[in-house]
Amino acid sequence: MQTVTATQLKRKPMTSSAQPDDPDHAAALLALVATEQSRQAFSELFSYFAPRLKAYATRQFGNEQTAMDLVQETMTNVWNKAHLFKPDRGSASTWIFTIARNIRFDFLRKNKHRQHDLSADELWPVLAEQNDSLDDDYALDDDLLMQQLAGYCELLPKAQRIVIELIYVEGKSQQEVADALGIPLGTVKSRTRLALQKLRELIHSDD
Amino acid sequence: MIKFHPNEEHLFHYVTGDLSPAMLMMVGTHVDMCPHCQTQVRDMENTVANKLFGQEQAPKELFAANDSFNGDAMLQQIMSQTPARDESRITGLLADELVLEGKRFKLPATLARSQHRIGEWHKLIGQMWRAPVQIGGEDVLTFIYMDKGTRVPEHTHKGREATLVVNGVFNDETAEYRDGDFVFLDGSVKHTPETRDEDCLTLAALDAPMQFTSGLSRLLNPFSSLFFK
Ligand SMILES: [Zn+2]
């Protein structure tokens, strides 16, 4: 199989039928935002999460403008800090929730202008650039991560590898893959899921 | 092995950010020290995230909240920024030691991140010391250090008291508390903490001054504000 490199992972729009509430798919989208600022991937995340964030923020603040500010600040962090998402720590939606939780915490204190007020990132260092503990050396360089991923792809069963390649390298939708290979859509979905699961295990076994 | 944990409600409100600053620091520090509660916290974060962002969220509410939501403009504005990694924010190891009376204590991550908030140490009575942790908010967060063989006069609290053992061991009438143990008392409980063969560094959150209740130590009540502020 050809090597999956960051540069190859762009091109065709990623219009797979998976929704961002599928944890593996959402994590893959975040990885694309992190490695190459994929607008396609970010737009997909945005259209799924922004309205849900707005609903959350509206409940919390009861104020339209503040709610919009929270959505904007949260999604801006997703755009700028996607490289800080660590799939081994939890799902993409959990990560986005913790970002929103922190922003809400700071918003609630911002207008009081009190000295000494605790800031959210002291309590929950969700967006700290550093590893907060020494045993966590998971923060791999992106290129290294991509190379490693390519290596792991070689270890997948051939049927799964082909599906992953078509979806994540060539940017085909799951339906297109099913048509191209002449197999049912359900089979494409299950192969994708199994492959992503396997990749995750391989990454973790290397810790 | 940690025996005493924050209750589920404390953990949940730590996850959502709905406790007082002092209690958030207390629970966060316990979580740093407690693998069991770390798992709980992650599970709760996942649960809340699924609830907020799950596919099954009622569409009606979504539409209502997004009537006038101009998502496109926001999306374009965000993507017009070039993500830049702020390498300067990559800091090295945190200074995570507290030095008191020549002894060194390792601070859990939450406290290490807030180390600049730790005020000066003052001697209370006997071999007890305290240092405030200035975090804003109404309630009070304070370190209390007891040398070995120290007893706090019996007292109650008008409000609630949470105590976390950062390092060492202390006892009261009901149990022995060691590193990581988290004790939450409401105003009705009288207790007499003491150290025996070991010293003890604790973190305490109080939402009202202590009231000393027994014999001569009632004389301490005028000084109870020392514990409080
Ligand atoms: Zn615990």
Chain B residues with CB-CB distance to A68 below 8 A:
69, 74
Q: In the prediction, which pLDDT does A13 show?
A: 43
Instruction: Evaluate whether residue B67 is within a structural domain.
Output: yes
Using DSSP's 3-state secondary structure scheme, residue B84 falls into: coil
Range with the poorest average pLDDT among A76-80, A154-158, A180-184, B54-58:
B54-58
Check whether residue B115 and residue B140 sit in a common domain: yes
CATH number at residue B209: 2.60.120.10
The pLDDT value recorded for residue B86 is 58
- A125 lies within 8 A of chain B by CB: yes
| A68 contacts B74? CB cut-off 8 A | yes
**Which residue range is the domain that position B184 belongs to?**
94-228
Burial class for B125, CB neighbours closer than 10 Å (0-12, 13-18, 19+): middle
Neighbours of B199 (CB within 10 A): 21
Residue B105's SS3 state is strand
Torsion of CA B43, B4, A101, B107, to 10 degrees: -120
Q: B118 with B71, same domain?
A: no
Name the domain boundary from B80, B102, B134: B80
The reported pLDDT for the residue numbered A5 is 44
Predicted confidence at residue B209, as pLDDT, reads: 55
Interface of A with B in 155-184 (CB under 8 A): none
Least confident stretch, A115-119, A185-189, B39-43? A115-119
CA distance A54 to B19: 23
The domain tally of chain B equals 2
Which of 1.10.10.10, 3.80.10.10, 1.10.287.470, 1.10.3720.10 would CATH assign to domain A141-205? 1.10.10.10
Taking 70 as the threshold, does the pLDDT of residue A146 lie above it? no
| Interface mutation vs chain A, best among B42, B50, B78, most A CBs within 10 Å | B78
Task: Please tell me which residue, A203 or B119, carries the higher pLDDT value.
Answer: B119
CATH class of A6-123: mainly alpha
Domain boundary among B45, B80, B115: B80
Averaged pLDDT, A89-114 = 89
pLDDT 10s digits, A170-181? 667 788 888 889
A100 near A70, Cβ under 8 Å? yes
Question: Which residue in A37, A109, A130 is closest to B90 by CB distance?
Answer: A130
Query: Quick one: average pLDDT of A167-195?
Result: 83
Q: Which pLDDT band holds residue A94 (cuts at 50, 70, 90)?
A: very high
C-alpha distances (whole Å) from B13 to each of A100, A153, A198, B156 are: 15, 41, 35, 26
- What pLDDT shows up at residue B212? 56
- For position A85, what pLDDT does the model report? 94
Per-residue pLDDT of chain B (229 residues; tens, 9 = 90+): 899 999 999 999 999 999 999 999 999 999 999 999 999 999 999 999 999 988 665 566 666 656 667 789 999 999 998 876 655 444 444 567 888 877 889 899 999 999 889 998 988 777 888 899 998 877 789 999 999 998 877 766 666 788 999 999 999 888 999 999 999 887 667 778 899 999 999 999 987 555 555 555 555 554 454 454 4
* pLDDT for the residue numbered A131: 44
Percentage above 70 pLDDT, chain A: 76
Q: What pLDDT score was predicted for residue A2?
A: 43
For residue A4, pLDDT beyond 70: no
Mean pLDDT of all residues belonging to chain A: 80
Cβ(A37)–Cβ(B83) below 8 Å: yes
Query: What pLDDT score was predicted for residue A1?
Result: 40
Single residue among B80, B104, B120 that ends a domain in this structure: B80
| B143 and B208 fall within a common domain | yes
Spacing, Cα A37 to ligand 1 middle (Å): 39
Question: For residue B110, what are its two tokens?
Answer: 């939450």
pLDDT of residue B160: 75
* Interchain contact A107–B (C-beta under 8 A): no
Q: Does one domain contain both B150 and B190? A: yes
Please give the single-letter amino acid code of residue B194.
E
